[in-house]
Structure 1
Amino acid sequence: MLRTAKNALRKKFPALFPTTENEAGDVPGWVLITLMSAILVAGLLALAGPALERLFNQAMSQVNP
């Protein structure tokens, strides 16, 4: 059903679906984006990790059993 809807949209709006020889996509581009995102998260965690740990410990010390 999804394929039929996609084909109908492709016929009605061909500019939205440019024809390419490789329908699999740009794998190296996705790998690069994923790698850069992981590096960014690791960098932010390295910078903000100690502050987040202090914040967590401070909040946990205020919890009464």
Structure 2
Amino acid sequence: MRQWIQQRLGDERGDVPGWVLITLMTAGLVIVIWGLAGPALSGVFDQAISRVLGGV
């Protein structure tokens, strides 16, 4: 049983190129979404802060 567990754990090297691709694609999506939504979110934040501080 112990040998079987060690053999199974030794075979679990993972799919490194797949994980790298997923990480790079996620980072790319975050950059694109941030670039598109950043100015709008900044405007919403500025408007909310001005209302909290008493401005219009």
Please give the range of the TM-score, normalised by the shorter of the 2 chains. 0.7 to 0.9
Match of 1:52 among 26, 35, 41: 41
| Greater fraction helix | 2
Query: Aligned-pair RMSD on alpha carbons?
Result: 2.0
Structure 1 portions without partners, runs of 5+: 1-6, 8-18
Normalised to the residue count of structure 2, the TM-score between the two structures is 0.73
TM-score by length of 1: 0.63
Number of residue pairs matched? Answer: 47
Runs of at least 5 residues in structure 2 that lack an aligned partner in the other structure = none
Identity %: 57
